[in-house]
A and B are shown apart, each in its own frame.
Chain A
């Protein structure tokens, strides 16, 4: 089942907030449309980066993510929720969360349930790693706020966890607790406590 609600994202050029829709329960058709719109932009920018010999650590780390496949393997299962933000009939960001079977690692939250953000990405035209002048901002913020809201709704008191790609670590560091490198994934793991969640969505 899909629900939609109004949110605001930042139009970077004018620094004005514009209305967008947060979709909880993104459909396969919507994911296909998003991939069809995102992929050419990503491929073109990756080609440009290769031609300009841009170092690997400055190229988008999630360019290989296949949202169609993620949708296909998670569709219909309550434990997974795919959310998106739509504006101007285009998907501006996508997020896949797991809502059961994942527990906190922070010592003072240990073994308490949380919402785990499996994948989160903004559209390539919104990503400063991909384009010089991103179109919309706050897409990630709205999606993480939505994960926090799901956590509250499920009785997890706002607890959220995720593994960050290296390019995004600075962003998560601001609002979440750095639990350190998870050697199993070789990625830094972050958690949002109920207190941090409360501050984040305020």
Chain B
């Protein structure tokens, strides 16, 4: 596996709260959540840069809503 580098991350209280909540819900460390988020963000950014759009679909109504990624 690849070697890892360490960095310090400065988060606001709400950001830390969200991270802690995700960490508990997904049974993952906070570092693991951040690494997941980076993977997903890179994937979404790559697809959007190719002109694709990101949608969420309602499981019941099948209604689609575009997600605007800044």
Contact = CB atoms under 8 A, between A and B. Distances in A.
- Physical interaction between A and B: yes
Interface string B11-34: 000000000000001111101100
A77 B1 contact: no
A3 B36 CA distance: 20
Interface residues of B, number: 17
A74 B32 CA distance: 21
Contacts of A100: 36, 39-40, 43
Interface SS majority for chain B: helix
A72 to B, nearest CB: 13
A77 B27 contact: no
Given A1-B2, A24-B1, A113-B26, A101 B40 contact: yes
B35 interface: yes
A113 B22 CA distance: 11
A112 B24 CA distance: 10
A99 B46 CA distance: 16
Counting chain A residues whose Cβ lies within 8 A of the other chain, the interface size class is: 20 to 34
B38 interface: yes
Interface stretch (A37-45, A61-69, A116-124, A148-156): A148-156
Contacts, number: 51
A111 B32 contact: no
A149 B1 CA distance: 9
Contact of A78 (B27, B28, B29, B38): B38
Interface string A153-168: 1111100000000000
A50 interface: no
A155 B39 contact: no
Interface of A: 1, 3, 24, 76-79, 99-101, 111-113, 149-150, 153-157
For the complex of A and B, 3 pairs with smallest distance between CB atoms: A155-B32, A100-B39, A79-B39
23 contacts: A3-B1, A24-B2, A76-B46, A77-B43, A78-B38, A78-B43, A79-B42, A100-B36, A100-B39, A101-B36, A101-B39, A111-B26, A112-B26, A113-B27, A113-B36, A154-B32, A155-B28, A155-B29, A155-B31, A155-B32, A155-B35, A156-B32, A157-B27
Given A101-B39, A153-B1, 14 more contacts: A3-B1, A24-B1, A24-B2, A77-B42, A77-B46, A78-B39, A79-B43, A99-B39, A101-B36, A112-B26, A113-B28, A150-B1, A155-B29, A155-B31
